[in-house]
Amino acid sequence: MGRRYDPDRRQRIIDAAIRVVGRRGIAGLSHRTVAAEADVPLGSTTYHFASLDELLVAALRQANESFAAAVRHSGALADPGRDAAAELARLMGEWLGRERSGVELEYELYLAALRRPALRPVAAEWADGVAEVLARRSDPVTARALVALMDGICLQVLLTDTVYDEEYTREMLDRLLSAGRVADRSGLTDGPPGRTTGT
């Protein structure tokens, strides 16, 4: 009998991998555990993803998309007359206000790039994509600093189990944006050619 047509199988495998990492951590991820979670033959996972790194790349790219999409589609960030700092602080609050396990999972996948070099380009994609949007309201150098600040605040909230302070976040983001405007008028915000973010 021929292979059953199953166009959504690859996506189901990615979704299953994210659920496995959410329950067991990165260490609990294997082709076998993902196949069982997705209810597909073991060979299906290796057919679509030859290595666990390939599967983690797909999972990280999907996990990263939620906040990046919110930034891309924000009408307030696209409007020069709106308060960009307030909008970013609001978006961060919405993201951190989701189910805690889901937010932690996204960062677990993101930080897995520390030990898995294959994930680093995907982590950079997220930072570059968000900074590219923010550079439209500031400049490339300030946009990189904004991404770093947002990352740092999110990590502090998650690691110290503190309550997210939207007003503090808005103030800190506004300070960066204001400093960027001053530097821009002084001609100090030209970033490296061809890059919107950096490490």
The residue type at 65: E
Number of domains observed in the structure of the chain: 2
- Domain-located, residue 27: yes
Residue 56's pLDDT is 94
Tokens encoding 155: 């990590």
CB contact at 8 A, 166 and 95: no
- Band (pLDDT 50/70/90 cuts) for residue 97 is very high
Tokens standing for residue 163: 């309550």
Task: Give the CA count within 13 Å in the CB-facing half-sphere of 107.
Answer: 16
Which residue segment(s) compose the domain that 40 sits in?
A: 1-50
Q: What is the CATH number of the domain that holds 31?
A: 1.10.10.60
| Dihedral, CA of residue 77, residue 102, residue 148 and residue 56, to nearest 10 | -110
Tokens of 12: 């189901």
Q: What is the pTM of this model?
A: 0.80
Collect all residues with Cβ–Cβ distance below 8 Å to 62 and sequence separation of at least 6: 14, 18
Question: Looking at the structure, do residues 46 and 68 belong to the same domain, yes or no?
Answer: no
Kindly report, residue by residue over 71-96, the tens digit of the pLDDT.
999 999 999 999 999 999 999 999 99
One domain, residues 89 and 152: yes
41 & 69 share domain: no
What CATH number does residue 70 fall under? 1.10.357.10
Q: What is the CA radius of gyration of the chain?
A: 19
pLDDT value for 150: 96
